[in-house]
Amino acid sequence: MIQFSHVTKHFDDRYPALNDLSFFIDKGEFVFLTGASGAGKTTLLKHIYMEELPSSGQVLVCGYDSKSIKSKNLPYLRRKLGIVFQDFRLLHDRNVFENVAFALRVTGKSERDVKRKVFEVLSRTGLSHKCSNFPNQLSGGEQQRVCIARAIVNEPWVLLADEPTGNLDYAVSKDIFELLQIINSWGTTVIMSTHDLQLIKPYHYRLIELSYGKLTKGADSTLKPKFKGATL
């Protein structure tokens, strides 16, 4: 599903942001991406949704190839991905329903389908009673749930969560993490970036660890090249 092959990324003359990364993430996995601030976690995630492309090496995601993908195909890749950011990025002039519906409307769904899918995903994420609220009327945990609802409303193959609990207290963080586990149980691959080792310590999901752009954990027995190019 996701394969990095000798991926290096340079932004300037300093040490590379990513340094010769090779690993494979299979369908349905739950993976923690860890490392200190500046280790390269966000840069790695940006390579998965191809906001950034490698300086050298190759990234394959859901059949799309970083070496050959065209700008016009990026929206089709990203429809297979859901992305959750630490800073929420909600539309503050729109209520919960409209924030989640926006992700469907940009794909051209009918209003009937939009309403059905939005109410379904709000129910699944425990937000049905908040559909008319605006972001400033929600707690931090509720805002993050809206972000997750928006990210999964298109039924993505992969959910990327970039420090989704970074601005939340421990109890709320645990609730958000449990929601990500539920989403993973539906068959969605989940990659969660975090530096909160206390939160993830009790769990035995796979760990990919970065240090100064290098892979220090996570490549060994799971590195299994499954495909050589894009199948669009």
**Structure pTM?**
0.89
Query: What is the per-residue pLDDT for 204?
Result: 85
Q: What domains does the chain contain, in order, with CATH numbers?
A: 27-40+69-209 (3.40.50.300)
Structure tokens at 141: 């945990």
Q: Tell me what pLDDT residue 207 has.
A: 92
More confident residue, 6 or 87: 6
Average pLDDT over residues 192-215: 89
**pLDDT value of position 199:** 80
Q: Is beta strand 2-9 parallel, antiparallel or unpaired with respect to 56-61? A: antiparallel
Residue 218 has pLDDT above 80, yes or no: no
β-strand pairing of 2-9 with 189-193: unpaired
Average pLDDT, the chain: 90
Q: Which burial class, exposed, middle or buried, applies to 129 when counting CB atoms under 10 A from its CB (0-12, 13-18, 19+)?
A: exposed
Give residue 196's pLDDT: 81
Tell me, what's the pLDDT at 228? Answer: 43
Tell me the pLDDT tens digit for each residue of 77-98.
Answer: 999 999 998 788 899 999 999 9
Whether the per-residue pLDDT at 232 is higher than 60: the answer is no
Split at pLDDT 50, 70, 90, the class of 102 is very high
Q: Residue 37 has what pLDDT?
A: 85
pLDDT tens track for 106-147:
888 899 999 999 999 999 999 999 999 999 999 999 999 999
Q: Please give the pLDDT value at position 197.
A: 81
Torsion sign over Cα 76, 81, 86, 89: positive
Among candidate residues 85, 86, 52, 84, the one with its CA nearest the CA of residue 69:
52
pLDDT in tens, 34-45: 998 889 999 999
DSSP letter at 76 equals H
Locate 34 and state its tokens: 């860890």
Task: Kindly state the helix (H) or strand (E) to which residue 182 belongs, with its residue range.
Answer: helix 170-185
Per-residue pLDDT at 215 exceeds 80: yes
pLDDT tens, 138-185? Answer: 999 999 999 999 999 999 999 999 999 887 888 888 899 999 999 999
Give the whole-number percent of the chain exceeding pLDDT 70: 94
